């Protein structure tokens, strides 16, 4: 089959200098340099000069179907997860700094893939969509069902090391089903072969080691590949009407990348959704935490229980999804209180730099810093949950 793909016509001059410049403009600045000492600023401030050379390089990759070995390396930084034990190796999330020229190449091929969501409920890293739309769907569905005095269940799945366990063969197989240009499929296949990484810890670099699975957190294609990896699960649940329908519109699986939520009014259907997810995880070689997965029940629910991998799923009064606390009652009050606590901590942390009203920075600068760092933390997610007059007044008093 690979021979057939390789025999298909490969275009010449596939990329133009305009493609390269547009990709360079997508790079985020003020980031760590890669292992070669390059960062986005080097390319952004010389884009017109280097674009012809990168155009020639990238077109050569397309013609030969081979990516440079320097695109396949990276430096992994272990980042401590929030409120986790720093002495536990499982408390860290690995963020990989990939070569900046490799990022430009990935930005170049991304629009050429023409990837489309096949479900309307994937809101992560999707152009024109905000992840908080998934939170808004949960809020509106909960309000609608509790107003009818219906039972309502919110399930929040916790996938173990979601990005790190993606099998390359599986994602390549799914990409092949999307009918992307065969030469791009072969380039991506080569890009994900012979990967290696070094770990940077307290200023020291480890020896490099091979990486045989996972999409690198920090790679440009990574989030899009992960969405492809899970979209068949979302589609299966939707096609079988497993999950809530509002009228004739399916809203049962609002998802942001690997943050998947299930909403249902039928407890048996919710168990079937968990069963389907369990089977899908086994087929795709990843694990869902049954004890970290949480179900929040709304209404007078009794004798409810659900399982994953024959293990009881945690039934909780509260659960956090996309930074928003979900509960049956007082959801607005709880979230406003949490936002104020976070905003207050942020403000206190900034006081040492002069953000205060006595002999610190001038008021205009302090106000700008407040609007940049404090106010967004105070207001995050509040637009996606119902707030009463008291909640609004409480948030307003702090701001």
Among 208-212, 255-259, 354-358, name the one with the lowest average pLDDT.
354-358
Residue 155, strand partner residues: 262, 295
3-state secondary structure (DSSP) of residue 343: helix
3-state secondary structure of 331: helix
Question: Which ranges in 196-330 belong to alpha helices (H)?
Answer: 222-239, 267-283
Across 289-307, average pLDDT: 89
50-54: average pLDDT? 97
193: pLDDT strictly greater than 90:
yes
Strands 152-156 and 195-201, how do they pair? unpaired
Tell me: pLDDT of 352 over 80: yes
Task: Compute CA distances 182 → 189, 201, 311, whole Å.
Answer: 10, 39, 43
Q: How does pLDDT run across 140-184, given as a tens digit for each residue?
A: 999 999 888 889 999 999 998 888 899 999 999 999 999 899 999
| 245-259, 306-320, 350-364: segment of lowest average pLDDT | 350-364
Does 263 score more than 60 pLDDT?
A: yes
**Is it the case that residue 3 has pLDDT exceeding 60?**
no
Residue 1 above 60 pLDDT? no
Residue 373 half-sphere exposure toward CB, CA atoms < 13 A:
16
- The C-alpha angle with vertex 219 and arms to 123 and 138, in degrees rounded to 5, equals 15
Say if residues 387 and 336 touch (Cβ distance below 8 Å).
Answer: yes
Measured CA to CA, the distance from residue 341 to residue 123 in angstroms comes to 28
Q: What is the per-residue pLDDT across 321-335, written as a single tens digit (0 to 9) for each? A: 999 999 999 999 999
- The tally of CA atoms less than 13 A away on the side-chain side of residue 388 is 7
From-to residues of CATH 3.30.70 in the chain: 131-161+224-327
Q: What is the pLDDT of residue 315?
A: 93
Residue 311: which pLDDT band, with cuts at 50, 70 and 90? very high
What is the per-residue pLDDT for 123?
94
Quick check: 394 pLDDT over 70? Answer: yes
Which stretch of 68-77, 129-138, 352-361 has the lowest confidence by average pLDDT?
352-361
Q: Is residue 261 predicted with pLDDT exceeding 90?
A: yes
Question: Please, what sign has the CA dihedral across residues 253, 118, 161, 31?
Answer: negative
Average pLDDT, the chain: 92
Which pLDDT belongs to residue 359? 80
Q: Higher model confidence: residue 11 or residue 190?
A: 190
Share of the chain above pLDDT 90, in %: 76
299 with 146: CB under 8 angstroms?
yes
Is the pLDDT score of 7 beyond 70?
Answer: no
Q: Please tell me the predicted confidence (pLDDT) of residue 219.
A: 85
pLDDT in tens, 66-107: 999 999 999 999 999 887 898 988 888 888 899 999 999 999
Mean pLDDT of 189-193: 95
| Whether residue 337 has pLDDT greater than 60 | yes
Q: pTM of the prediction?
A: 0.90
Average pLDDT over every residue of 350-376? 89
How much is the average pLDDT of 329-356?
93
Q: Which fold has domain 131-161+224-327?
A: Alpha-Beta Plaits (3.30.70)
């Amino acid at each position: 089959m690979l021979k057939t793909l390789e025999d298909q016509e490969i275009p010449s001059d596939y990329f133009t200098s305009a493609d390269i410049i547009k990709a360079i403009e997508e790079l985020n600045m003020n980031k760590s340099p890669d292992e070669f000492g390059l960062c986005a600023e080097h390319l952004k401030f010389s884009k017109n000069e280097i674009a012809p050379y990168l155009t020639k390089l990238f077109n050569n990759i397309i013609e030969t179907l081979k990516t440079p070995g320097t695109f396949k390396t990276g430096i992994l930084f272990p980042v401590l997860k929030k409120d986790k034990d720093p002495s536990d190796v499982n408390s860290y999330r690995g963020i990989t700094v990939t070569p900046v020229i490799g990022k430009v190449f990935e930005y170049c091929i991304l629009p050429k893939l023409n990837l489309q969501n096949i479900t309307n409920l994937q809101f992560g890293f999707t152009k024109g969509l905000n992840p908080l739309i998934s939170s808004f769907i949960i809020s509106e569905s909960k309000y609608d069902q509790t107003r009818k005095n219906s039972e309502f269940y919110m399930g929040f799945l916790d996938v173990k090391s979601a990005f790190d366990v993606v099998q390359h063969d599986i994602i390549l197989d799914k990409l092949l089903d999307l009918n992307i240009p065969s030469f791009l499929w072969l380039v991506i296949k080569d890009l994900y072969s012979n990967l290696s990484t070094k770990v940077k810890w307290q200023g020291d670099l480890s020896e490099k080691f091979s990486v045989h699975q996972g999409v690198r957190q920090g790679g440009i294609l990574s989030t899009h590949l992960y969405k492809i990896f899970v979209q068949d699960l979302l589609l299966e649940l939707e096609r079988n009407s497993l999950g809530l329908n509002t009228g004739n519109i399916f809203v049962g699986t609002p998802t942001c990348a690997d943050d998947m939520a299930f909403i249902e009014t039928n407890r048996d259907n919710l168990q079937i959704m968990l069963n389907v997810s369990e089977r899908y995880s086994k087929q795709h070689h990843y694990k869902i935490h049954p004890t970290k997965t949480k179900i929040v029940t709304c209404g007078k629910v009794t004798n409810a229980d659900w399982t994953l991998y024959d293990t009881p799923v945690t039934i909780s009064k509260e659960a956090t999804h996309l930074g928003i606390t979900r509960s049956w009652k007082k959801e607005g009050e709880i979230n406003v209180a949490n936002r104020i606590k976070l905003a207050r901590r942020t403000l206190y942390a900034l006081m040492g730099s002069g953000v205060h009203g006595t002999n610190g920075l001038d008021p205009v600068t302090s106000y700008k810093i407040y609007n940049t760092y404090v106010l967004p933390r105070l207001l995050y997610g509040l637009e996606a949950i119902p707030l009463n007059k008291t909640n609004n007044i409480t948030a307003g008093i702090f701001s």
